[in-house]
Amino acid sequence: MPLVCIGLSHRTAPLDVREKLTFPEPELADTLRELGTLPAVREALLFSTCNRTELYAVSEVPEEAAGELRNFLARKRGAGDELLGKVLYEHHGEAAVRHLFRVSSSLDSMVLGEPQILGQVKSAYAAAREAGVVAQVLTRCMERALSVAKQVRTETGIARNAVSVSYVAVELARKVLGDLESRTVLLVGAGKMGELSATHLRQAGAARVLVVNRSRERAEEMARRFDGEGHGLERLESLMVEADVVLTSTASKDFVIRPDMMQRVIRARRRRSLVLVDIAVPRDVDPRCNEVDNVYVYDMDDLNKVIQANLQARQQEAQGAERMVAEEAARFEQWLARQKVVPTIVALRERYVAMARAEAEKTLASLGGSVDDKTRAAMLRLAEGLANKFLHQPTAALQRGDPDQGVVAARMLFDLPAAEEGAEGDAAEDAPRAPAAAAAGGAGTKGRS
Amino acid sequence: MLLPRLLHGATFLTYAVAAVLYLANLVKERKPVARAARWTLGGAALLHLSQLLADWALVAEVPFTDIHGALSSLALLLVVGYLLVGLRAEMPAAGAFITPGVLALLVISEFKAPGSTLPAQAGVIRPIHIAMAMVGTAAFFIAFVVAVMYLVLERALKEKKFGAVYHRFPSLDVLDSVNYRAIVVGFPLLTLGIVTGALFARKIDASVTLNASHLQYGLAVLAWLFFAVVLNARITAGWRGRRTALLTIGGFASALGVLAVYLVR
């Protein structure tokens, strides 16, 4: 049973359309359950983030399922055919699996390699499981998706370098100062961006946050958020002697930090390195400060340059990640194809083991009461063992070869009854690695109704 | 004689593989490649050690007391030093500069036949002097490599060039502290090397090697001065970074000069 996906993302739809077609968290459980009742849908999954809404279904009739998903989305969100036609994409089979893997690995994200998507994928999976609309195929598929996403994160450099202003500030500080533990951050001004960067620096281990502002009260107020100290602007020079990273984001029209001041500061701090990140426009730090030994000044343009360089590095790493995803998707499709032969193998086993047992019983009966229990058990084991041995070769051939041909050939050669509609779903439960059996059963019954 | 020859070849080849891996990792950073490079380098060091021990067994003399063995030992000490530094601060980028240096030392040592050059009269002082000098030079070699890396990275950071150097090199802080530690290790050894060298030079026939010895002595003292200034300025005036990196390069060049005189005389 192949996978089907319909959806829209930042690549196909602008924000105002995405807003309209999103499914907020509280509605998720009901929506999923409803998805599960669609006639052609056996298993279902729903991603809804600010950048994408995607509906996945496992179905024996993928074309029908895709139509049902599309109508479901139109009905639920009151979207017209024309709009959906413009923004929706549709993937079937291996393409759908690859898409799911790419999304989980953050290869389809707005910011390549961003880390949030993995958590969102996990919670979408958990919600679908809770709603009871996930069975064998999606369970396996999601396991593989999460595993390949982890592999991509650890084995490629797709998430290695910072691509937002506030994280780049941390990266630059690290490049100069190394470990940020026990370092001091000085925040000059009360801009939002400065605050965000300080938060990241704090998370990266910085021990102390100092804040200076024209208004001392505001400085103290902001410092409280970091467990730090707030001071008036007149303390700037003396506090720069203590700091290792200075983040400036004041609204001042003139430079707040000048080269002569920088010279005095660097002497007073015995030439320990100092990183200044100036995120103010107009700038707060005179660019000539960068000429002072062991002082490193970065303004908004520099930060953007780092972001561009890092995005480029991520793009390069994405090539390797795409390969990993494609390989994993192909493996998953192979597994899925093998599942087709499972009911045939089960039927084959059942029939031949039953035959062997019947023959053994006949022989035992002809021996009359002279057989003790031990011998009896041994005879039965022998019969079953022989049946299994004889079936080993055809079973292996079924698992290896083309599944469609294999099923037809096996049913003809071994005279098995033709597969029933629901038999596949039921047999799948017997197969190894079938979790959420109850859910699978539910989906199976509903499929027949 | 087959075993030592085989060991020589295997050692050189393994170092070459490690160098290729480190360079590949510098071009395109990959954790598995960096890991493979480190293990290969470790393996090469073990081969190298067994090669030196085999040489020792054959010649029945301390292997590093001729210029051939001394250069080979210096290469091994350099690798061991780099691997030891790696336990605290992994710097695969530095491996891309250390390993070609090691290969160069081995090639030069091959041009110097075993048993050549160093006069034998000095007795027990000779191996002590050479051992001090070799360990010290290995430490300064590492200090030199990280000093050069410091200057290159510092320039990239000041000029806002966010390319391969920015992405692959360790932080300035790490480079600076490895530099400092390497000098702290090398400096006392250099001091003792100079003292033993002076005793050693008195014992041998001064007329033959007087000029060369004087030149070596001068260069060694110059190196000592460079490093003394680095340490003193760092401790008393907080000098660090670019200035200490430049002085380190000066000091290492002088120390290398001492070795070069052995090679040409």
pLDDT in tens, B182-236: 999 999 998 988 888 777 666 655 544 556 677 878 888 899 999 999 999 888 8
CB-CB under 8 Å, A293 with B241: yes
Chain B residues lying within 8 Å of A319, measured CB to CB: none
pLDDT of B259 reads 82
CB-CB under 8 Å, B243 with A305: no
pLDDT of A394 reads 87
For all residues of chain B together, what is the average pLDDT?
84
Give residue A141's pLDDT band: very low, low, confident or very high (50, 70, 90).
very high
* A interface test, pick of B27, B161, B171, B174 with most A CB neighbours within 10 Å: B171
To the nearest whole Å, the CA of A110 is away from the closest chain B CA by 23
Structural contact between residues A185 and A206, judged by C-beta atoms closer than 8 angstroms: yes
Q: Does A437 score more than 50 pLDDT? A: no
With CA atoms as reference, the chain A residue closest to B240 would be A271
Looking at chain B, the whole-number percentage of residues with pLDDT higher than 70 is: 88
Q: Which of A157, A273, A298 sits opposite B172 (nearest CB)?
A: A273
The Cα A433–Cα A359 span in angstroms is 32
The Cα A78–Cα A21 span in angstroms is 9
The Cα A374–Cα A363 span in angstroms is 15
- Highest-confidence range of A157-171, A247-261, A389-403, B120-134, by mean pLDDT? A247-261
Chain B residues lying within 8 Å of A153, measured CB to CB: none
Q: Which of B30, B167, B171 sits opposite A177 (nearest CB)?
A: B171
Q: In this predicted model, which residue has the larger pLDDT, A356 or A407? A: A356
Does the annotation mark A141 as catalytic? no
pLDDT of A435 reads 38
Q: Tell me which residue has tokens 């801009």.
A: A191
Chain A residues lying within 8 Å of B153, measured CB to CB: 175
Name the A residues in 268-297 with CB < 8 Å from any B CB: 270-273, 290, 293-294, 296
Structural contact between residues B67 and B117, judged by C-beta atoms closer than 8 angstroms: yes
Structural contact between residues A242 and A255, judged by C-beta atoms closer than 8 angstroms: no
* A interface test, pick of B26, B35, B162, B168 with most A CB neighbours within 10 Å: B162
CB-CB under 8 Å, A294 with B167: no
To the nearest whole Å, the CA of B134 is away from the closest chain A CA by 31
To the nearest whole Å, the CA of B112 is away from the closest chain A CA by 43
Q: Which of B60, B44, B57, B58 is nearest to B7 (CA)?
A: B44
Q: Looking at A56-70, A86-100, A397-411, which range is the least confident one?
A: A397-411
Chain A residues lying within 8 Å of B167, measured CB to CB: 161, 309, 313
Q: Which of A155, A176, A302 sits opposite B160 (nearest CB)?
A: A302
To the nearest whole Å, the CA of B230 is away from the closest chain A CA by 14
Q: Does A442 score more than 50 pLDDT? A: no
pLDDT of A187 reads 92
Q: Does B61 score more than 90 pLDDT? A: no
Give residue A419's pLDDT band: very low, low, confident or very high (50, 70, 90).
low
Interval B115-128 mean pLDDT: 62
Q: Mapping DSSP to helix (H, G, I), strand (E, B) and coil, where does residue A109 land?
A: coil
With CA atoms as reference, the chain A residue closest to B166 would be A175
To the nearest whole Å, the CA of B161 is away from the closest chain A CA by 9
φ/ψ region of B163 (left if φ > 0, alpha if ψ in -120 to 50, else beta) reads beta
The one catalytic residue in A5, A50, A141, A289 is: A50
Q: Looking at A330-334, A444-448, B51-55, B142-146, which range is the least confident one?
A: A444-448
pLDDT of B114 reads 60
Q: Does B8 score more than 60 pLDDT? A: yes
In this prediction the pTM is 0.73
Interval A182-197 mean pLDDT: 86
Q: Does A38 score more than 80 pLDDT? A: yes
CB-CB under 8 Å, A161 with B160: no
* B interface test, pick of A179, A180, A182, A273 with most B CB neighbours within 10 Å: A273
CB-CB under 8 Å, B239 with A176: no
Q: Does B245 score more than 50 pLDDT? A: yes
pLDDT of A445 reads 36
Size of interface A-B (CB pairs under 8 A): 59
Interval A175-204 mean pLDDT: 87
pLDDT of A421 reads 41
Instruction: Establish if A305 touches chain B: CB-CB under 8 angstroms.
Output: yes
pLDDT of B202 reads 66
The Cα A229–Cα A208 span in angstroms is 9
pLDDT of B175 reads 93
Quick: pLDDT tens for A346-404: 888 888 899 999 999 999 888 877 888 888 899 999 999 999 999 898 888 888 888 88
Q: Looking at A48-57, A243-252, B202-211, which range is the least confident one?
A: B202-211
Quick: pLDDT tens for A308-350: 888 888 888 899 899 999 999 999 998 888 888 888 888 888 8
Chain B residues lying within 8 Å of A174, measured CB to CB: 171
To the nearest whole Å, the CA of A445 is away from the closest chain B CA by 49
pLDDT of A408 reads 84
Q: Looking at A87-96, A117-126, A160-169, A266-275, which range is the least confident one?
A: A160-169
Q: Looking at A73-82, A133-142, A355-364, B105-114, which range is the least confident one?
A: B105-114
pLDDT of B199 reads 75
CB-CB under 8 Å, A293 with B160: no
* Amino acid letter for position A29: A
Interval B10-37 mean pLDDT: 90
To the nearest whole Å, the CA of B117 is away from the closest chain A CA by 46
Q: Assign 3-class secondary structure to A300-340.
A: HHHHHHHHHHHHHHHHHHHHHHHHHHHHHHHHHHHHHHHHH
Q: Does A195 score more than 90 pLDDT? A: no
Q: Does A438 score more than 70 pLDDT? A: no
CB-CB under 8 Å, B239 with A271: yes
Q: Does A430 score more than 70 pLDDT? A: no
Q: Which of B30, B160, B241 sits opposite A294 (nearest CB)?
A: B241
Give residue A431's pLDDT band: very low, low, confident or very high (50, 70, 90).
very low
Task: Report CA-CA distances (Å) from B34 to B31, B37, B152.
Answer: 5, 5, 21
With CA atoms as reference, the chain A residue closest to B239 would be A271
pLDDT of A328 reads 94
CB-CB under 8 Å, B242 with A293: yes
Q: Does A443 score more than 50 pLDDT? A: no
Q: Which of B31, B166, B177 sits opposite A175 (nearest CB)?
A: B166
pLDDT of A139 reads 94
Interval A193-200 mean pLDDT: 83
Q: Which of A178, A271, A310 sits opposite B241 (nearest CB)?
A: A271
The Cα B192–Cα B194 span in angstroms is 5
pLDDT of A343 reads 82
